[in-house]
């Protein structure tokens, strides 16, 4: 597993991280047993995956709790990112006065005295320039040793630029994948500022695994797609099947496209079992051919950027 620099924290992180939304999350995913979740985290560490992304609202606190149990006596081997804004009780609160309590509750669930980074979890745009004081609180917590870096999780280059140009954030988690390339417009500036970039939703909520088609139906959080959107996405999946072959799955290839960008520190696909873990980790074994990267960039620039695919 190759590693990359995690901003200015002094830490090295695995190119392929571990998206922990599914751990203990019975609201959005088929239930995973606690023992299986813990074993999955251990298996990730054994494969060189050392970056774990979680949040208080994932599984209403269970994701952080299970990570804490799994990483007990293994904390030095892991880099942990959590968030603020969506609380463990299911509420949303971006008030700066709530940051300290949220972080300290996360530390207790994670069984650690510090986290490597904390991000404001998809906040309103007016929270991104720091004028409301949220980053001042994070800075205080950093001085106290409770976190090494802070930033925000966002979805657009406009949001990224607001953070980069007006604050001293060290980490940005951003939506980016083959079907959502707009945020790449801000990657170079982030690199110049030595900001670590975490890529979320790298498989476009499962579409880039190649397992869905125009006849697919969805439940839970994925029921947000209309039949028209499903048809558009399915047609695009067929357009990009050239990225896979007998040795490379669609999932692995989709992750390699993201890793073709040196500005990115790590990618956080979700993982529910050992087979998915191995498929994700395989993305670090080789690079996507430059010609494939170029074709995917051109497809997005000429066609996909003008389509309304939602998220």
Q: Domains in the chain, please, with CATH?
A: 3-306 (3.20.20.100)
b/e sequence 84-119, b meaning 16+ C-beta within 10 Å: bbbbbeeeeebebebbbebbeebbebbbbebbbbbb
Percentage of the chain modeled with pLDDT above 70? 98
Confidence of residue 242 (pLDDT cuts 50, 70, 90): very high
Question: How far is the C-alpha of 107 from the C-alpha of 82, rounded, in Å?
Answer: 9
* Phi and psi torsions of 251, nearest 5°: -60, -50
Confidence of residue 53 (pLDDT cuts 50, 70, 90): very high
pTM, two decimals, is 0.96
pLDDT at res. 29? 56
Percentage of the chain modeled with pLDDT above 90? 88
Confidence of residue 50 (pLDDT cuts 50, 70, 90): very high
Other beta carbons within 10 Å of 66: 27
């Amino acid at each position: 597993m190759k590693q990359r620099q995690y901003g200015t924290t002094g830490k090295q992180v695995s190119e392929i991280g571990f998206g922990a939304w599914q751990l203990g999350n019975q609201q959005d995913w088929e239930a995973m047993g606690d023992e299986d979740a813990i074993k999955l985290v251990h298996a990730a560490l054994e494969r060189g995956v050392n970056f774990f992304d979680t949040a208080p609202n994932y599984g209403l606190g269970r994701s952080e709790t299970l990570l804490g149990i799994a990483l007990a006596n293994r904390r030095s081997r892991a880099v942990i990112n959590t968030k603020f804004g969506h609380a463990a009780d299911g509420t949303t609160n971006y008030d700066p006065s709530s940051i300290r309590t949220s972080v300290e509750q996360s530390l207790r669930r994670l069984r650690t005295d510090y986290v490597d980074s904390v991000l404001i979890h998809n906040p309103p745009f007016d929270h991104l320039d720091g004028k409301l004081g949220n980053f001042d609180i994070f800075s205080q917590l950093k001085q106290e040793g409770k976190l090494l870096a802070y930033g925000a999780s966002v979805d657009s280059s406009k949001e990224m630029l607001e953070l980069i140009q007006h604050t001293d954030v060290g980490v940005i988690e951003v939506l980016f994948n083959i079907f959502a390339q707009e945020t790449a417009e801000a990657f170079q500036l982030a690199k110049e500022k030595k900001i670590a970039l975490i890529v979320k939703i790298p498989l476009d909520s499962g579409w880039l695994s190649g397992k869905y088609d125009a006849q697919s139906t969805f439940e839970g959080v994925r029921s947000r797609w209309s039949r028209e959107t499903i048809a558009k996405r399915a047609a695009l999946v067929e357009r990009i099947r050239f990225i896979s072959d007998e040795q490379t799955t669609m999932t692995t290839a989709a992750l390699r496209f993201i890793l073709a960008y040196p500005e990115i520190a790590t990618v956080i696909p979700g993982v529910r079992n050992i087979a998915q873990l191995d498929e994700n980790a395989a993305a670090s074994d080789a690079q996507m051919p430059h010609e494939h990267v170029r074709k995917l960039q051109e497809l997005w620039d000429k066609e996909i950027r003008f389509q309304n695919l939602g998220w």
